[in-house]
Structure 1
Amino acid sequence: MKISIKDITSLTDASKKFAGSCDIKDFSYLGSEFSINHIEPFEVVLSMIGNGKLHITFDTESTISGACDRCLTEVTFKVPVSVDETIQVTDGEVVPDEELGPYSFIDGEDILVDELILNEILVNFPAKILCQDDCKGICPVCGKNRNIEACGCDDTVLDPRMAQFLDVFNSFKEVK
């Protein structure tokens, strides 16, 4: 969704509201693919604050699906989206931030609402995506999903740097 800033930048201390929508369906993050299933209805508010500052605000919630980090089962989870941006506008054009450079959500005289939503989703993305809090994951030996069935594999992972110590301990075991 694009919103033109032409009409509002010429006014002072004025606000306009727009019905928001999101056209992004899929995105990649940290090497994994995710789908945006639903975005709650929201309203974008553009406000001119004083002379030359445009304030963009809206709040919504997204429902996203992707793979569990441990067992790769499909998981659906919610991510809040809360946008509160203020940008400098001079003569109807957005002035890039001196520290950050050009804004990723500005395209000429248009605000890219989809880009704002995606930025907020990525900022608020959970560190771990799990199908359940006690997800057992996939067995590294046989590849079975441990949440579905126990496989009985020996999954003891030994540190290869300690292998020589293990040999010494094994050589001193008592024989019965």
Structure 2
Amino acid sequence: MKISIKDITSLPDQSKKFKGDCEITEFSYLGSNFSINHIEPFDVVLSMIGTGKLHITLNTTATVVGPCDRCLTDVSFQVPASVDETVQVSEGQVVTDDDIGPYPFVDGEDIDVDELILNEILVNFPAKILCQDDCKGICPVCGKNRNIEACGCDDTVLDPRMAQFLDVFNSFKEVK
């Protein structure tokens, strides 16, 4: 959804409310693909502060589906998206700040609401996504999901720095 700021920038100290609509259905983050199943209805409020600043606010929650970090099973979780941005405007367009650079959510005279929401989702994204708190993950030997069935594989991971000690122990086993 794109909102033109041309009309609002000519009204100092005025606000306009728009019914929000997000068209993002999927995105990639840290090498994994995620889909957005639902975004709560929201309003986008554009407010002029004097004649030179545009304040953008919106609050919503997105329901995202993606892989569990341990077992790769799809998990549904909610991510809040709360936008509170103020940008400089001049002659109906956003002025880019040399320190910040161009705003990724600005396209000429338009504010890209989808980009604002995606940025907030990524900022508020959970550090670890788990299907359950005690997820057992995938067996590193046979690849089975340990939450579904136990595989019985020996998954002892030895520290490679201790390999020489293991060789010594194994040589004593052969002597017996």
TM-score, normalization: structure 2? 0.95
Cα deviation for residue 87 of structure 1 reads 0.1
Range with bigger deviation, 79-88 or 94-103:
94-103
| Counterpart residue number, 2:6 | 6
Cα deviation for residue 98 of structure 1 reads 1.6
- 2:71 counterpart letter in structure 1: C
Gaps spanning 5+ residues in structure 1: where? Answer: none
Structure 1 distance, partners of 2:74, 2:84, is: 32
Range with bigger deviation, 150-159 or 164-173:
164-173
**8 A contact 2:87–2:94 mirrored in 1:** yes
Percent identity between the aligned chains?
Answer: 82
Structure 1 distance, partners of 2:172, 2:140, is: 31
- 1:7 counterpart letter in structure 2: D
| Counterpart residue number, 2:19 | 19
Cα deviation for residue 168 of structure 1 reads 2.6
The number of residues matched between the two structures is 175
Q: CA RMSD in A?
A: 1.3
Gaps spanning 5+ residues in structure 2: where? Answer: none
Structure 2 distance, partners of 1:24, 1:170, is: 57
| Counterpart residue number, 2:82 | 82
Structure 2 distance, partners of 1:25, 1:54, is: 28
1:23-65 deviations in whole A, cap 9, x for unaligned? Answer: 0101111111100000000000000012200000010000000
TM-score, normalization: structure 1? 0.95
| Counterpart residue number, 1:129 | 129
Cα deviation for residue 22 of structure 1 reads 0.2
**8 A contact 2:9–2:51 mirrored in 1:** no
Structure 1 distance, partners of 2:92, 2:74, is: 46
